[in-house]
Structure 1
């Protein structure tokens, strides 16, 4: 699944971006997590956080297919010809069984993103736990993402400004993370929660998108069972080396200013963007691309 025609080859994905590797820890005390990572806004990979979860032993595509059965799911694409330049907008709805059958076809880049466990498969809530790391979680809001070999989830961030934890089940994924103050170098338009989908992170792509060379990013490789802490407002993109299932658990914003931005995004920015998209269509997407390019040069 997934064409890499617009991106680096799998072994080189994101490698052209200036970066450092994310710390990897096992059995990290809450106090260490708080002072070294949460308060400094620094990502970290937990190598053992999920090992006692049922999901660590159960979660694979056949299991998820049985749990979701014939329920309808929204699917997404990174191909501009399919999504019109908006990879956050579903391109179609289909039965979950049909989607999982597509994962064996390399030419298909369709993904499931941010599927609410509570709405579609509440019976698997017992398969995971909320990390005991001193945070307040939005219970009932675990989200599933699924992607196939070679697919990429475009650079984006959470409008709810949550501290989040991404656990991977299946083949390896690679995550590129960028601090919010460097968002313009990812070609993210104003009033948007994702970069333009044509951005190419390969060495050749940097010639087309030179602002990428200004990034100082983090990279994390997640094997089966690994969990990545993604600090609030970090932008991140995900590359699937093979078929994988992601579980994202969100914690509430940790400061009043973050809570205010969260409400503003959800009550003002997102509705206005959707309205402009519905009224202006492709013209709105082209305008956002132009603004992203101009912004990257400042």
Structure 2
């Protein structure tokens, strides 16, 4: 992988954000951006522990999804308070995925404000994500194709970002929003996955209170270096073309994949894995031919 740094700023105006990052769809890291929130000191695991009461949450780990189950089926369930204490006291790869604040912990809505950066937020689904110090999230892009403002809290996190046009080198799985399961983005095996060597992206390390702007369709891999959590604020698709692509992703591609997975289980998963490898190998062959 060819990884470079992204622009990093301590603050940003709406005008600069729109002209330099949003319109050209370029990522940027804004250090300590959450400090602007009046309730910034409440964004920690202990505060969420106090608010969670007896709530039960679904948990996921680093293993590939079971082909005999729905891809969004958690591996286990636990009281949120027990989960928070678990990741605070010992290494764990358990994580909470797409926890919608509006539905599950609306008290948190009082503790942040939507930054005035000039784009329209989808305020129905501000979402939390939690992870233990061993947790990682498979390389993927978000199915709704929204622009994302992603805040990190508590522990440090490593993020890899790749623009949509790099998908051919990332071993994208057809009918899915993720890459093949057995690519190790922490220690990439270029002998096994040679196309990955030519993928051009960014490496970002996030600290407590940092915000990362991820443009629509950007691929991202998240690795929790310490127990922590994040909140993602997302926008509506900002163009008719992107809206059409989002509807296609949600209502055709995703539904087709669910049906085929239900009918053929492991055979469907294996087929998609093989197809992903063949497509990336073809992209690599074309790239090397053009380079020579």
TM-score by length of 2: 0.90
What is aligned with 2:9? Answer: 25
Which residue does the alignment assign to 1:285? 269
Residue from 173, 195, 200 that aligns with 1:189: 173
- The answer as to whether partners of 1:83 and 1:91 remain within 8 angstroms in 2 is no
2:85 counterpart SS class? helix
1:40 counterpart = 2:24: yes
In 2, the alpha carbon distance for the partners of 1:202 and 1:28 equals 31
Task: Flag the structure with larger Rg.
Answer: 2
Equivalent-residue separation in structure 2 for 1:83 and 1:186 (angstroms): 22
In the alignment, is residue 215 of structure 1 matched against residue 193 of structure 2? no
Q: Partner of 1:100 in structure 2?
A: 84
Tell me the distance in 1 between the aligned counterparts of 2:246 and 2:276. 22
What is the alpha-carbon distance in structure 2 between the residues aligned to residue 215 and residue 188 of structure 1?
A: 12
Alpha-carbon distance in structure 2 between the residues aligned to 1:219 and 1:41: 17
Change (3 A) 1:283 1:101: farther
Please say which of residues 241-250 and 178-187 is displaced more in the overlay: 178-187
CA distance in 1, matches of 2:278, 2:38: 48
Query: Do structure 1's residue 294 and structure 2's residue 274 form an aligned pair?
Result: no
| Matched length | 280
**Secondary structure of 2:191's aligned partner:** helix
Spell out, residue by residue over 1:153-206, the C-alpha distance to the aligned partner (whole angstroms, 9 max, x if none).
111111111000110001111110011111122211111011122111245522
Displacement, 1:140? 2.5
For the Cα contact (< 8 Å) 2:60–2:74, is it kept in 1?
yes
Contact 2:67/2:261, CA 8 A, preserved across alignment: no
State the partner residue of 1:179. Answer: 163
Partners in 2 of 1:284 and 1:95 — Cα distance? Answer: 34
Task: Provide the C-alpha distance between the structure 2 equivalents of 1:136 and 1:266, rounded to a whole number of angstroms.
Answer: 21
When residues 204 and 250 of structure 1 are mapped into structure 2, their CA distance, relative to the original with a 3 A threshold, is: closer
SS in 2 for 1:167: strand
Gaps of 5+ in 1: 1-16
Over the aligned positions, Cα root-mean-square deviation in angstroms equals 1.9
Instruction: State the partner residue of 1:112.
Output: 96
